[in-house]
Structure 1
Amino acid sequence: LGLGWEAARIATPYYYPTYPVYYYPAPTYYYPASPPTVVVEPQPVTAAPSAWYYCDSAKGYYPSVRQCPEGWRMVPATPPPGPIR
């Protein structure tokens, strides 16, 4: 590499002017509005009936006895006395 190479290196600029860089704004994305929040409160649970239905002629309670000819008698909902099975 002689003098010619060195002369070419000195004559060639290391910095080349660049063209201006144009920046574009970021794209805008439009999203649909979210649906409104709806809170559905559960209905209050009704208590179980505090009465049983007894048939005197069949000597049994509903639903064990399906039909009662004289009509059902409402009795307090307490278990009959006896051993627990």
Structure 2
Amino acid sequence: MEIKLNNLVILGGGTAGWLCAAVLAKRLQGSPVKVTLIESEDIGLIGVGEATIPPIRAALSFLGIDKGAICCRNERVIQVGYRIC
């Protein structure tokens, strides 16, 4: 049985939710699938110490986003690595 997908919903925003939605929307461009992201207005930013590590470069490149512009505009850097002690 073939299942036709018309709508794809991402629940939750943040870095993971928005990046997931952006990559899926780009990958499904030209298809009939609609990508929607739903995030809570009641939940603010949660400072969990997330790091942007080197693999983000490939994702930004795929999306056509200039990593330099993002880093400069937001006063951020791409972390080279980390160690858990």
**Superposition TM-score, scaled by structure 1 size:** 0.18
Using CA pairs under 8 Å that are at least 6 residues apart, name the structure with larger relative contact order, 1 or 2: 2
Q: Which has the larger radius of gyration?
A: 1
**Superposition TM-score, scaled by structure 2 size:** 0.18
Whose helix fraction is larger, Structure 1's or Structure 2's? 2
